Structure 1
Amino acid sequence: MGKQLKRSSRKAVIVPFIQNGEYFFKKGMKAYDRGDLEKARKYFERAVRLDERDAAFALQLALVLSELGEYQFSNQWLLKIIHDLDETMYDCLYFLANNFACLGLFREARQYAERYLTHEPDGEFADDAADLLELLRLDGPEWTEEQEDLMALEERARRLLEEERFAEAIEALEAIVARYPDVWAAHNNLALAYFYSGDIEKAKQKVREVLKRDPGNLHALCNALVFAHYLRDEEQVAALCETLAGLYPFFREHQYKLGATFALVGRFDLAFRWMHRLYKQGFDGDGPFYYWLACAAYYTGHEPLARQMWEMLTTLHPEKRGEEPWAATSAMDEGLIRMMALFEGGELADWLYGLYLFSRSAQAEETSMSLALCRLLPADPRLRPFIDYVLFGLTDGPSAWAGNIVRMVDVLSVNNEEKEALCRFAFAMAAHPSAYGESFANGAAWAAAIEYIWRQQQGEKVTQKEMAAKYGVSAATVGKYVQKVRRLWS
């Protein structure tokens, strides 16, 4: 007989292929070294998505964006680094100065160049910053007669808008944008005038037009968020809030606009970040500023500051006394009391069932109640997908998984009188660590199997055939899902 091949005694080694932020950062650097800026940008964007706290990843993305001429987006990342990631990365100040100079914003360019030299007088870019300052020594040109005319037209249109004379405001703003098509403020005010006059489609079209011609225009994005909020487009609201939450505007006017917009749509957590920052910087606010800061402070747990801001508001507007956010107390019905008792418990199933009850209550329509409830819940990562889905309407990623579980519990709830015990059992099972690989997409099948197991545990005689008839699925399907539940619950 010929020789037989011997089975190798070496075991196969499986090497995991992990694509983390570092992996994409290195890919981005290779593309950057080759001069392929677009590909480098895509790799760096993936790196910062995977590791959003790494300042080096964010800086490299900002530099590529600057080389691509996208100076505003580059500035947003540079400001994020300074404000949130590493305030000691002073090189960002020099890169900001360069970007602002390229945008023609010479005063801001000077400020950042000077700040860089203050922190790094002997730094790597000290000579470059000094050269840039030398180029920026002269003040900007005086206002031309045409610019003064434009300012007068814009002021008249703004006044008409504030006085709610929308037809006249639209006429004035349409004349401005026809004569000065690149004046974005007029376009954005025209979108508001259209919206408040009831011409929703024209308003939305105007916002789309601005964002197409000037991507990232802050006022247009804020207007889009306000429109989506009033039109109850919760999916669009969530998407725009996520986009705007990542912006770091330099100008105080833009910071105010962002904070006030977040407050108007009920995202007081995001509103407080900007309004309180402006207040600490000595911003000389008006009535609306103190109003929104008071609301944002109150609904994020800063009640002393909220009361202080309300006092400043009533100094300017005495008629606001009695309209404090804490003056509007809601009646505590039995359902709300039951919810609060569940939130005080220490079990995950209690918290999830309390969230579920809240989502089906009248209080769920009040954004302030959702934010207050969010503050009551513990910082448990297992809760995050359910909080995002129930309280903030997010429907992607882990929130989609949480949504499937909530809909499955809905099926159980409408088909049973023993709602609380059965629904709490369902939440405890579905949120168990061993269940994280399950999508819970087939809500009826999961509900039938869960009720079958639960009733067996109660000592009741129940058949899978009965559960199949009750939930409109086949007996074979119930049997399949019963095995799933048993595996998860073992």
Structure 2
Amino acid sequence: MAVSSGRTNVIPIQLDATFFFERAVRSLDRYHYDRALKYFRRAVEYEPDNPVNHCNMAGILSELGNYEESNKILKWVVDELDPTMTECHFYMANNFANMENYEAAEDALVQYLEEDAEGQFLDEAEEMMDLLHFELERPPRRANIKSREGLYEHDQARMLLEEGKFAEAVRILRSITEKQPEFTAARNNLALAYYYMGLFDEAMATVQTVLEQEPGNLHALCNLAIFYQHEQDTERLELLVQSLRKTVPFHQEHVFKLATTMGILGEHDHAFVHLQRLLKDADNQQDPCLLHYAAVSACNSDKRGEAERLWKQALKLDRESGIPEYYLKHLQDGVLPPSVSYQYHLPFEEQFKKWGKDTDDLPDQVKKDPLVRSSFFWALRHGDRSTKLQVIQALGMIADNEVKETLKDFLMEAGEEDYLKHIAMFVLRGIGVTEPLQAVLEGKETTVEQNRMPSRLPVWHERWQAVVETALTRMQSRYDMIGQHDLLTLWVEFLSRLYPEVPPIRKTEGWAAALEYLTAKMHRRAVTYQEVATRYGVSVATASKYAKWIDEVCGIREKMQTVFPALDGIEQE
């Protein structure tokens, strides 16, 4: 007879939430949903404050087709128990969609996208949006996706940079970096946007902020090198370039950034090596812009044969822009400058020559080219007087919101010449800006109303305006905005000097003819009294009489000898 040792072979069962959870999972594996639901209910009883147990129970109810009961539980979880369980909104959206309540499904899905920081079901949510688009027969509501917070806005800003809309990009990038200081890509692009706009101090400060966070950030280091070059800080530039020469990046994006930077810095051999690496990829060989960069680096490295081959390859892909053709022709003619620009557009001076001095519009591809626009913004801030006049006129041909804001900012630059600002105001009015303009004129900030002429005349009569409109109507297709502005200024000066003893204006065409004649003379145009008299339908004597009257009052001959020393003289009878 065996003696009991006092031990038992019975293993006690610990009935807790984990026990019932495991039983529920086993039941699910066998597709026993009713039993799984029973076990999940028991798990909830043991741990009523555990939101996962409630969500599991809601999931089983959904599998069983009890969508309303499932949503009641999910709503209670996210409203009362744990608001951080944002995935409940996604589950609820699924339930509503199964109930064919697509409006409610859309509401729940948008709430999920806007509140869920992890984006666990982001791909599935986007698929559901496509379904809702089909079922609702309209585009679904746009949502600010929290898990991609800043990414959508950053992509939008990058697109604006590519379109040359730098001021708009700056506004978005500033907002991103204020909310997400660690978003270094946004800061790098903000630095570039500032640089493209000619705001060098802001660009330098921004890139330094990136390097404080990530001292090895390649994009920031490349940008900093460009900024050092602009600042002519040769000592710090050389130290940084030595480091960049030893850098061999792996990712194509980094290779391209380093290659173009080294090219701009004059390190053409290093640029060529990196660009050759990129062109080993067959897809990259279909990019005329990349081929141009490689051709430039080859040309500047005295590899003229390789440059010719690359530009010929680019020409096959891009015959419309004229860029590969221009450089190929000049290379073959032996007239390329010692250092060729890496920018994929025609040289700035060549663009103006191509468009023509009196053109009243620019090609669409030019208006949208970010490098062209960047050149304009740089020239407006850093060019000489003649270049600024050309740029203001060219910006008037682009005439988008970016241009309007740029010209408005220009009016407030204390160091700029008043004449240039009057031209800018004339352009702004011509492209539809009607509100009062703020400008610093004669050293003082002033407001310029739309209906105010650029003068101190206390009144402005309709007949005086009629003369201007008569002249500008006939001149518009033949004179640029600068010429039109100067005609207006000349007329206002004439009236101002005589006021209040202003002559009666009976025949507007005679005065308009005289004004065009004098304006043409001031702008190196060959013109006779006979030509303007015929154009305005007046006699030569009338045109001559009024022109000489204006000359006597305003001293045109003296101005032509001082301000316009090389211009033709006024015609004598």
TM-score, normalised via structure 2 length? 0.32
Largest Rg, 1 or 2? 2
